[in-house]
């Protein structure tokens, strides 16, 4: 954590070292094997005509939207859109459900309506304990969706609820988010490459 005596350049250099260290920890870690499993699962869902549904809170909500956009738009190459969405991006639904039912149901209520058995639900939570993410996993499992959790060390409550647990080796929120986005980008790149190779 930065202190008032550090210059901006010192903070930037220090965080760059932290990020490099995080990537070194990630290399060869079991989270990468889990991420590869998640990538194959997403590809299977795409091949079966399903969609990828992302969700998360705060910074993780933006990361969820970012990853959905990589599939809907493009990553590196021109191609047809890949079916994906972020539940956090549906402002009217999030606020209406939060107001009428409680914020802890903001994602689970949406999944009740838009989730189908051949879809995959991907929850991003640095702690793995966010109530609305936990509730969404519960609904996803009830409806027969496959589930992937992108989270920090240990996985929190979602660890026992996800078909694939990608728990990166850190509990420091910025480092967890950086590693999860590194993994997310890599998954999107892989999926796009498979899509282009198969010419679906």
Three-state secondary structure along the chain? CCCCCCCHHHHHHHHHHHHHHHHHHHCCCHHHHHHHHHHHHHHHHHHCCCCEEEEECCHHHHHHHHHHHHHHCCCCCCCCCCCEEEHHHCHHHHHHHHHHCCHHHCCHHHHHHHCCCCCEEEEEECCCCCHHHHHHHHHHHHHCCEEEEEECCCCHHHHHCCCEEEECCCCCHHHHHHHHHHHHHHHHHHHHHHHHHHCC
Q: Is residue 2 part of a domain?
A: no
Centre a 10 Å sphere on the Cβ of residue 99 and count the other Cβ atoms it contains: 10
What tokens were used for 127?
A: 């702690």
Q: Is residue 157 part of a domain?
A: yes
Q: Distance between CA atoms of 94 and 65, rounded to whole angstroms?
A: 14
pLDDT at 148: 98
Q: Judge whether residue 1 has pLDDT over 80.
A: no
Q: Judge whether residue 153 has pLDDT over 90.
A: yes
Q: Judge whether residue 2 has pLDDT over 80.
A: no
pTM, 2 dp: 0.93
Which residue range is the domain that position 99 belongs to? 29-198
pLDDT in tens, 86-134: 999 999 999 999 999 999 999 999 999 999 999 999 999 999 999 999 9
Q: Is residue 33 part of a domain?
A: yes
Q: What is the CATH number of the domain that holds 98?
A: 3.40.50.10490
Number of domains in the chain: 1
Closest to 126 (Cα-Cα) out of 87, 170, 64, 184: 170
Q: Is residue 155 part of a domain?
A: yes
Q: Please name every residue paired with 138 in a beta bridge, in sequence order, or none if there are none.
A: none
Q: Is residue 7 part of a domain?
A: no
Q: Judge whether residue 5 has pLDDT over 80.
A: no
Segment 169-187 shows an average pLDDT of 96
Centre a 10 Å sphere on the Cβ of residue 27 and count the other Cβ atoms it contains: 8
Provide, rounded to the nearest whole percent, the portion of the chain with pLDDT above 90: 94
Identify the band that residue 150 occupies on the pLDDT scale cut at 50, 70 and 90: very high
Residue-wise burial string across 46-79, b where 16 or more C-beta atoms lie within 10 A, e elsewhere: beeebbbbbbbbebbbbbbbebbbbbeeebeeee
Please report where in the chains the tokens 């980008």 appear, as a residue: 185
pLDDT, mean over the chain? 95
189 Cβ contact list (under 8 Å, min separation 6): 75, 76
Q: Is residue 10 part of a domain?
A: no
pLDDT at 181: 96
pLDDT at 4: 67
Segment 8-25 shows an average pLDDT of 91
Strands 120-125 and 52-56: parallel
Q: Is residue 107 part of a domain?
A: yes
Identify the band that residue 191 occupies on the pLDDT scale cut at 50, 70 and 90: very high
Provide, rounded to the nearest whole percent, the portion of the chain with pLDDT above 70: 98
Segment 10-34 shows an average pLDDT of 93
Q: Is residue 98 part of a domain?
A: yes
pLDDT at 199: 72
Q: Judge whether residue 3 has pLDDT over 80.
A: no
């Amino acid at each position: 954590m930065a202190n008032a005596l550090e210059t901006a350049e010192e903070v930037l250099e220090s965080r760059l070292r932290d990020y490099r260290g995080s990537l070194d920890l990630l290399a060869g870690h079991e989270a990468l094997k889990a991420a590869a499993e998640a990538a194959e699962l997403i590809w299977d869902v795409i091949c079966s005509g399903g969609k990828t549904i992302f969700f998360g809170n705060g910074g993780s909500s933006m990361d969820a939207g970012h990853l959905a956009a990589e599939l809907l738009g493009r990553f590196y190459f021109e191609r047809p859109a890949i079916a994906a969405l972020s539940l956090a991006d549906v402002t009217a639904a999030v606020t209406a459900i939060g107001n009428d039912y409680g914020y802890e149901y903001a994602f689970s209520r949406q999944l009740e309506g838009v989730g189908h058995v051949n879809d995959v639900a991907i929850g991003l939570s640095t702690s793995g304990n966010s109530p609305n993410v936990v509730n969404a996993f519960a609904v996803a499992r009830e409806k027969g969706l496959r589930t992937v959790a992108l989270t920090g060390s240990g996985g929190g409550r979602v660890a026992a609820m996800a078909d694939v647990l990608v728990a990166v080796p850190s509990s420091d929120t910025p480092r967890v988010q950086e590693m999860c986005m590194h993994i997310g980008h890599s998954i999107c790149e892989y999926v796009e490459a498979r899509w282009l190779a198969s010419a679906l």
